[in-house]
Amino acid sequence: MKIGLDIMGGDFAPKATVLGAIEAYKVLQGHTIVLIGDKDAAISILSEQNFSPDNFEFVHTTEVIGMGEHPTKAVVQKPDSSISVGFKLLKEGAIQAFSSAGNTGAMLVGSVFSVKTIPGILRPAITTIVPKVKGGMGILLDVGANADVKPEVLVQFGVLGSLMAQNVYGIENPRVALMNIGEEEEKGNMLCLATYPLLKEASNINFIGNAEGRDLFGDHADVFVCDGYTGNIILKLAESFYVITRKKGFKDEFFDRFNYERYGGSPILGVNAPVIVGHGISNPEAIKNMVLLSKDMVESDLVGKITRAFQ
């Protein structure tokens, strides 16, 4: 397996990304990490670490898409950027997964333009991990790919999240909940009111009803679906709470599981290859785990399973 990593993506690239690649190399066996980006910079960091460049493959690129750049414009205008090249390699099958802690929008645009959406999928979604107080975790999607969605899209998110929970996180028969503002079917905004009956009818997911904001960290459900506007606000709010507990010196096993570093990144589900977007502030630990999550996504054949589910 060849796992592509954008070494130019993220606030601390290429240092953090190359160091993360070294850490990933140490635990990955029989797989190759392909470092995509400024090869000279990478070699220089590797030599500082006395780590042989022969442990990696390199694809040199000359451009970088900045965090603040307009995604579509950037992907089109910078064909030799690490993100654009990464997706080219992914499309050609030269790598089996691609991840980057760079511009999220560019990663989304790249996914949809190059490897393309899986037939039958209306909109890809970005997922995130939600730790449970009692241990284990759930999945929340969408956290930002689609600010507005239709009811049918939310139902698909339920399927995508279930397949991810089952195949990558080993959660059997994952319970799917609709993020809402009341337990009852007749509660919610127009989107939820229209979505609930569709989720109830969906035979390929284990829909258990609505979840409220307070249910997210409990053992209420395994997959929480919502539009990307709501999910993104939830994600950033939860993250800020974690940051506050850390700043205040509260160390705790539950709060530690909020740490994005542990999970490495947020998979984009619904496209024809494993793609992961990392947090902009990714450190080497986060990068390492992003590469390992890439491997898990390839090994579990998540994309194949999603493709068959939507045939």
Regarding beta strands 266-269 and 125-131, do their DSSP bridges make them parallel or antiparallel, or are they unpaired? antiparallel
Task: Decide whether 38 or 261 has the Cβ nearer to its own copies.
Answer: 261
Task: Decide whether 193 or 309 has the Cβ nearer to its own copies.
Answer: 193
Phi/psi-derived region of residue 270, left when phi > 0, alpha when psi is between -120 and 50, beta in every other case:
left
Task: Decide whether 257 or 295 has the Cβ nearer to its own copies.
Answer: 257
Taking CA atoms, 307 is separated from 56, 273, 284, in Å, by 31, 10, 32
The 3-state DSSP class for residue 210 equals strand
Please report how close the Cβ of residue 214 comes to its own copies at its closest, in angstroms: 4
Please report how close the Cβ of residue 68 comes to its own copies at its closest, in angstroms: 9
Please report how close the Cβ of residue 149 comes to its own copies at its closest, in angstroms: 9
Please report how close the Cβ of residue 255 comes to its own copies at its closest, in angstroms: 8
Q: How far is CA 46 from the centre of its chain?
A: 27
* Residue pointed to by tokens 């409990």: 218
Taking CA atoms, 295 is separated from 59, 100, 288, in Å, by 19, 14, 11
81 near 61, Cβ under 8 Å? yes
Please report how close the Cβ of residue 151 comes to its own copies at its closest, in angstroms: 14
**Identity at 74, one-letter amino acid code:** A
What's the CA gap between 152 and 52, in Å, rounded? 50
* Residue pointed to by tokens 């194949």: 304
Task: Decide whether 32 or 245 has the Cβ nearer to its own copies.
Answer: 245
Task: Decide whether 203 or 247 has the Cβ nearer to its own copies.
Answer: 247
Q: Which of 172, 168, 174 is nearest to 208 (CA)?
A: 174
Alpha helices in the chain (DSSP H): 15-27, 39-48, 71-77, 82-92, 104-110, 151-167, 190-201, 228-247, 253-256, 260-263, 284-299, 302-309
Please report how close the Cβ of residue 103 comes to its own copies at its closest, in angstroms: 12
Please report how close the Cβ of residue 69 comes to its own copies at its closest, in angstroms: 12
β-partners of residue 276 are 99, 267
> Where do contacts with its own copies occur on this chain (CB under 8 A)?
133, 144, 147-148, 179-181, 188-190, 192, 212-218, 227-230, 232-241, 243-245, 248, 250, 252, 254
Please report how close the Cβ of residue 280 comes to its own copies at its closest, in angstroms: 12
